[in-house]
Amino acid sequence: MKKIFVCVAFLSIAVVAKAQQDSATKSAPNKPFIQNPPLQLPNFGEIHGNFQFDAQYYRVDSLINAPKVPEKILSNGFLNLTYTKDKFYAGLRYESFLNPLQGYPSGFKGSGVPHRYAGYIADDFEVTVGNFYEQFGSGTIFRAYEEKNLGIDNSLDGLRVRFRPVKGIYLKGFVARQRSFFALGPGIVRGADIDFSVNEIFTKLENSNLRYTFGGGFISKYQPDNDPIYILPENVGAFAGRAGIQYKKVTLSGEYAYKINDPSADNKFIYKEGTAISINAGYATKGLGISVAAKRIDNMSFRSDRAASRTDLTLSFLPAATKQHTYMLPSFYPYATQPNGELGIQGEITYTFKKGSLVGGRYGTTITANYASVWGLDTTQVADQKVGYTAKFLSPGKLYFEDKNIEITKKITSKLKAGYTFMHLVYNKDVVQGVPGFGIVYAYINVLDVSYKLAKNNTVRTELQHMRTKQDMGSWAAGLIEYTIAPKYFIAVLDQFNYGNSESKKQIHYVVAQAGYLKNTLRIAGGYGKQREGIICVGGVCRNVPASNGFTLSITSSF
């Protein structure tokens, strides 16, 4: 305990003071210097950082439903600075949203330093004060993380300690409040987690073929009950236990999570407990990988503010147990976990046909097949708000989502590479987007991706994509041509054409042209064109990104 106090006291000393103190203890030249390269910084530690700036100029386009943006130009930007000196570290992030880009939470409006921290890390012990990110297990009850491209940053602001009493046992605990845009949420969050890596604890098991890990975490949030109508629980706890076993090429892992009564805006203020179970199995040998997973979630939305909605102040991280697609049309209808209840399975196999084999050809061929299906729970509503509903354990309810896809990638000659993807999708738009009345979308998608190396550093790549569907907006075709001159330039033109729209005036080409310059870690890219309305889904919440028409500029750098 004394050690903790020493460390906390130590941390309260400013970065500068620390630098001075250390420089005195070492035999360093006691003179100021700004030299030419290379800069040797024996006394001052290391400062590094990264920077990102995204801006868009918006034009009104009533045809594609691009709304009027009074500011005309919106931008998001940030700069991270990290400082490390031996065992000490500190950092901060300046963020500026003037005003936030369309599709980002409007709460970000403004500028400031919402993220700053300092810490001390020894071999077996670490303490952090200020903002930090953390995750227990797979995050079912707790994950504080950032996802810049989705406008998510639910970091914690408080105090965290990590401790390793012996090799293989990892303890961590924290007390903090959660970031909510440029302020903090109303709840106080406390958590502790322990992780056992059995083969690391017992040295004679170090090289065993059989490997075990297990662990558990507990989270409790406190939020005062000032509601004049309901008696709300002020302290809400959640627990998750996990275990994993690996024997040679086979792995099996599982997690169980439980949450006590947590009436919230998400579950419409019912007092039911929440549960989540997930099981993963895998097989991996050179050239073949198989993974299967099953998951059941029941009333597991967990936030540090019971009234919060969308992506605000989430504690639980419940990612979709489906394949994450990145091509334009396969990612048109993304699935988002329904935290109030779902049942899902997924399987994936990746196989590489060896070089020189019949299918493999001269350079080998890789095939990935994936299947995922998600259903709602089979529930019965109960009038008593304390119960809310009852759900059967393993009986699937309505189909929410199904995805069958196969991807084949092949290097045909030393210059020519090709990839082909086929996907069949069943998408319950009513449930996933929370807009009943649309029904179910059935889609068949084909993607052909071919790249050809024209010269040592010049490559041209094309994508041809097609999505056939009778529902929603009808069929789409899309194409892309990208020309890269490594290591510095790229130019690309892409078009998405909604030729199957039942309204002829909405059969629009969404054309975007982009060009960029790259140098080491600097990337500057500009674009112009029409972006279609799209959906970004996170943790069961989908955010609609409105259509837009205009210029974009993006700069990233790190140093």
Partner 1 sequence: MKKLAVVLIACTLFVACDKIEGPIKETLTDLGDVDTTVTLQRALLEEYTGHKCGNCPELGSEKIAELDALFGSKLVTVSVHAGSFATFSPTASKYNYDFTTPTSIALYNKYGVQANPEGCVSRTLSGGKLVLGSGAWATAISAVLTQEPAQRIDIKNTFNEANKQLTVDVTVKYLKAGAADDNLTVYLVEDSIINWQKDYRLTNEDIPNFVHRHVLRGAVTPTFGDPLSTTAPAVGAIIKKSYTYTLKDGYVPKHCSVVAFVNNSGTDNVLQVAEKHIQ
Partner 2 sequence: MNRYKTLLALSLSLLLGNANAQINRPVPAIDLKNTAGITVNTAAITNNGKPIIIDFWATWCKPCVLELNTINDVYADWQKETGVKIIAVSTDDARNLAKVAPFVAGKAWEFDILLDPNGDFKRAMNVNNIPHTFLLNGNGEIVWQHASYEPGDEDHLYELVKKVAKGEKIEE
Rule CB under 8 A: say whether 265 interacts with partner 1. yes
**DSSP class of 370:** E
Q: Which of residues 372-401 bind partner 1 (CB under 8 A)?
A: 385-386
Among positions 174-193, residues that touch partner 1 (CB under 8 A) are: 180-181, 183-186, 190, 192
Q: Binding partner of residue 134 among partner 2, partner 1, none, CB under 5 to 8 Å per kind?
A: partner 2
Cβ closer to partner 2: 197 or 220?
197
Q: Which amino acid belongs to residue 6?
A: V
Strand partners, 529: 512, 550
Q: Which amino acid is at 524?
A: I
Residues 36-75 that bind partner 1 (CB under 8 A): 70
Q: How far apart are CA 528 and CA 67, in angstroms?
A: 17
Q: Which C-beta is closer to partner 2: that of 81 or that of 175?
A: 81
Counting Cα atoms < 13 Å in the Cβ hemisphere of 323 gives 26
- DSSP-assigned letters across all residues of 284-349: EETTEEEEEEEEEEES---BSSTT--TTTTB------SS----STTTTSS-----TTEEEEEEEEE
- Name which of residues 78 to 137 contact partner 1 (CB under 8 A): 105-107, 109
Q: Which of 12, 20, 21, 235 binds partner 1 (CB under 8 A)?
A: 235
Selection from partner 1, partner 2, none that 185 binds (CB < 5 to 8 A by kind) is partner 1
Does residue number 305 form part of the binding site for partner 1 (CB under 8 A)? yes
Per-residue binder mask for partner 1 (CB under 8 A), 423-442, x = binder: -----------xxxx-----
Tell the smallest beta-carbon distance from residue 412 to partner 2 (Å). Answer: 14
**Cα 149 from Cα 485, distance rounded (Å):** 26
Give the residue from 318, 337, 451, 307 showing the smallest Cα distance to 401. 337
Task: For residue 309, state whether it binds partner 1 (rule: CB under 8 A).
Answer: yes
Residue 91 half-sphere exposure toward CB, CA atoms < 13 A: 20
**Closer residue to partner 2, CB minimum distance, 511 or 518:** 518
For residues 515 and 485, give the distance between their C-alpha atoms in angstroms, rounded to a whole number: 11
The reply to whether 307 sits near partner 1 by the rule CB under 8 A is yes
Q: Is the CB of 45 or the CB of 534 nearer to partner 1?
A: 534
Which does residue 433 bind out of partner 1, partner 2, none, counting CB within 5 to 8 angstroms by kind?
Answer: none
Which of residues 232 and 425 has its CB atom nearest to partner 2 in the complex?
A: 425
Contact at 8 Å (CB) between 334 and 326? no
Quick one: which of 182, 181, 87, 186 has its CA closest to 128?
87
Q: Which of 46, 227, 252, 502 is the binder for partner 1 (CB under 8 A)?
A: 227
Say how many residues touch partner 1, by CB under 8 A: 50
Going from the C-alpha of 98 to that of each of 77, 93, 106, 323, 435, the distances in angstroms are 9, 16, 10, 34, 31
If one asks whether residue 261 binds partner 1 (CB under 8 A), the answer comes out as: yes
Q: Which are the contacts of 476, defined by CB distance < 8 A and separation ≥ 6?
A: 329, 332, 465, 466, 467, 496, 497, 498, 499, 500
Distance CA 475, CA 54 (A): 31
For residue 230, state whether it binds partner 1 (rule: CB under 8 A): yes
Choose between 146 and 378: whose C-beta lies nearer to partner 2.
Answer: 146
CB of 191 to partner 1, least distance (A): 9
- Picked from partner 1, partner 2, none, the partner binding residue 514 (CB below 5 to 8 A depending on kind) is none
Site for partner 1 in 204-223 (CB under 8 A): 218, 220
CB of 474 to partner 1, least distance (A): 20
* Residue 6: both structure tokens together: 């020493």
Angle at alpha carbon of residue 141, lines to 156 and 536, rounded to 5°: 75
List residues near partner 1 by CB under 8 A.
70, 105-107, 109, 180-181, 183-186, 190, 192, 218, 220, 226-237, 239, 256, 258, 260-261, 263-265, 268-269, 271, 305-310, 385-386, 434-437
